[in-house]
Structure 1
């Protein structure tokens, strides 16, 4: 991965850098998104719409997916292939958080890597606890399909929300 790109993501995340970028609130005509960023944006829209058919066309058959270390669903890392992700990540999140929302706010793209920054919001069905956790997702996109995913998020908040008091 390009170290300069990672450094830029850290600077943006800490508020020390505000480059020209596409955010969820800006129309695409303001800043031209890269083709790989468009793929990632399509994935988030498909998640929001519950459009499994579109998600299936975006995720590559050789996908390698990593949940953040110490995340409740990192127990099966790495998830190899879309079926493993659907069952081990999406299925478990859907069962635990029926109102789960992923809201990307900022995208950074460099070559085949796209980073998305945003927030997860949800209420855990078992504990009644609410979550409002920030995230950064790194995607690898090749030939219009997502082949890699790495999540970074507030894992302490996730653990707190899913653990009964």
Structure 2
């Protein structure tokens, strides 16, 4: 059975709420075993391919957030739904990047594909120039 639009938005909203509480287990539990997680091209963490499966998402993204940023948070403010796909306008904020000391306040959009209560695909769009500047890496 495929989820309705409202249920997909509820699933995604619950993920942002869990992340805000620091409940990474709930976030990981909502990922399909074959989830494809795409960081924005130009993001210093973008490996040139999707992270596939929850373990790669943890190692390639979630653990790095905790390691690299002080008080990192995602502040969603608009959800747009089209069936199984939910787009979210948000901001990334952090008190500072641990290596540079620079604060983060970047515009971001996320596109989530949800099937049967599980995230099967995620695509990040972010101000990669600002992210690279905060992280102290060169922009090519």
Report if TM-score (shorter chain) is over 0.5.
yes
For structure 1, list consecutive stretches of 5 or more residues without a partner in the other structure.
Answer: 1-32
Contact 1:136 1:151 in 2 (8 A): yes
Between Structure 1 and Structure 2, which shows a larger proportion of strand residues? Answer: 2
1:70 aligned to which of 42, 47, 59: 42
1:95 aligned to which of 67, 77, 97: 67
1:159 aligned to which of 116, 132, 136: 132
For structure 2, list consecutive stretches of 5 or more residues without a partner in the other structure.
Answer: none
Higher Rg: 1
TM-score, normalising length: structure 1: 0.77
Q: What residue in structure 1 maps to residue 104 of structure 2? A: 131
Of the two structures, which has the highest relative contact order with CA contacts closer than 8 Å and spacing of 6 or more?
2
Contact 1:127 1:161 in 2 (8 A): yes
Distance 1:136 1:164, change over 3 A: closer
Q: How many residues align?
A: 133
Contact 1:63 1:82 in 2 (8 A): yes
Contact 1:127 1:164 in 2 (8 A): no
TM-score, normalising length: structure 2: 0.90
Shift of 1:57: 2.1
Provide the aligned C-alpha RMSD in A.
1.5
What secondary structure does 1:127 align onto? Answer: coil
Q: What residue in structure 2 maps to residue 83 of structure 1? A: 55
CA–CA distance in structure 2, aligned partners of residues 164 and 135 of structure 1: 19
CA–CA distance in structure 2, aligned partners of residues 116 and 36 of structure 1: 12
CA–CA distance in structure 1, aligned partners of residues 122 and 137 of structure 2: 29
The 4+ residue runs of structure 1 with deviation greater than 3 A are none
Q: Output one character per residue of 1:39-96: Cα deviation in whole Å (capped at 9) or x when no partner.
A: 0001101111111221122111110000000101102531000110011111111100
